[in-house]
Amino acid sequence: MAHIVILGAGYAGLGTARKLAKIAPADTKIDLIDRNTKHVESIELYQVAAGSADADKISFDIRGVLPNNVNFIQANVSKIDYENKTVEFSDHDDMTYDYVVVGLGFRSENFGMEGADQYSYKLQDIPTAEKIYEVINSNIRNYKQSQDPNDLNIVVCGAGFTGIELLGELIDTAKILKAKYDVPEINITSVEMAPQILPMFDSELAKYAVDFLSKNGIKIMTSAKIKKIEPNAVVYTKGDSEEEQRIYANSIIWTVGVSGSDVIKDSGFEARRNRITVTDYLNVEDHPELYVIGDDSASMDPQSNRPLPTTGQLALAQAEVAAENIVADLKKQPQKKFVYKSKGTIASLGPSHGIAEITKPHLKLKGSMAALAKRFSFEQVLYEVGGIKGLQKK
């Protein structure tokens, strides 16, 4: 009887578990392990950070959506001893495996930036998302007493997907809190090092996003390289200039980038930003029984020779192939190479606006149509990770 251990119940782990439950031999033991009892739709965390959704809206109980032949264990992974095929935990007995699938998710990356951990609020899970809204709400409420203009200033560091979707959601949040606490205008600024935002989109769609955010009061600063974070300021240089400038705010949110789980580093894997380069079959070259997918995986794009960007869509596609390849190996059958074909890219700009570029058929959507596409995409992901039960819980 083969023992398959899946580490992490995010998109990658749940997707693998559900696929293995369907195709693995009947006597296979499948253990899914996560430190939490709830699966979090991490692509929707920005809503919790903006106060437009509570945690229950973007999460569901893991056990409630698992097939009967998958065993769930709540435990905190501390290390993978890949030489001895053992997983070590901080709160559970060690566990041996025949195959292990690593999908432990991401953490916010500060890139060694001075003051980032101390003076800004990172967005990486439900507690940090809830903290961000608590800080924004508290500062704006406090303005009447403090008369500190920085209480009304919000800075979002980084204009990747997370940053942009958070900015879009904050448009309505600012209006609601302004009226609730009867304060002057709330100022929201995006600070981004790149010369333009959303380069992965068609230029027309990216321009629509910039125009929409700008028209709704968001100040977008590009070519602004952050140098450090101070207690109430982001210090940056603009363009080629070395002159330091400051933008002041009491709510500073950090969405600059992510890396894989620190378990990767702690286990001694050769990795960059806690992402392990995998083979075309999604396993590790010298340890073919060890599969790495999702945010912990560097799966190479043959065209650019760079790692594919980590998304929920990619994680679910990897989960499907990883499960199939494990079963193929169990049955002594040929494995298949992972070939990624993106279904498209969607960015939310608030509850009723967005931009979307769909692959097949090739469509470019903006405004409310893109928002509908985002909603459909979210429900499709819910179905893939939670099945009918997952959809029903939402």
Contact 336, 325 (CB under 8 A): yes
Q: Do the bridges between strand 363-366 and strand 300-301 make them parallel or antiparallel, or are there none, so unpaired?
A: unpaired
CA angle 285, 338, 363 (to 5 degrees): 145
Report how far residue 246's alpha carbon sits from residue 234's, in angstroms, rounded to the nearest whole number.
6
Q: What is the Cα–Cα distance from 292 to 315, expressed in whole angstroms?
A: 10
Between β-strands 297-298 and 276-277, what pairing exists: parallel, antiparallel or unpaired? parallel
Q: Which of 41, 47, 74 is nearest to 60 (CA)?
A: 41
- Assigned token pair, 299: 């799966």
| DSSP state letters, 355-382 | EEEETTTTEEEETHHHHHHHHHHHHHHH
Contact by Cβ (8 Å): 139, 249 = no
Catalytic residue among 41, 44, 109, 165: 165
Instruction: Evaluate whether 126 touches 48 at the Cβ level (below 8 Å).
Output: yes
**8 phi and psi angles, rounded to 5 deg:** 105, 130
Closest of 154, 113, 114 to residue 248, by C-alpha: 154
Please return the burial class of 172, using the count of CB atoms within 10 Å of its CB with bins 0-12, 13-18 and 19+: middle
For the chain, give percent helix, strand, coil, nearest 5: 35, 30, 35
Cβ atoms 158, 197 nearer than 8 A? no
Helix H or strand E encompassing 245 = strand 245-248
Q: Does the annotation mark 109 as catalytic?
A: no
The residues annotated as belonging to the active site are: 165
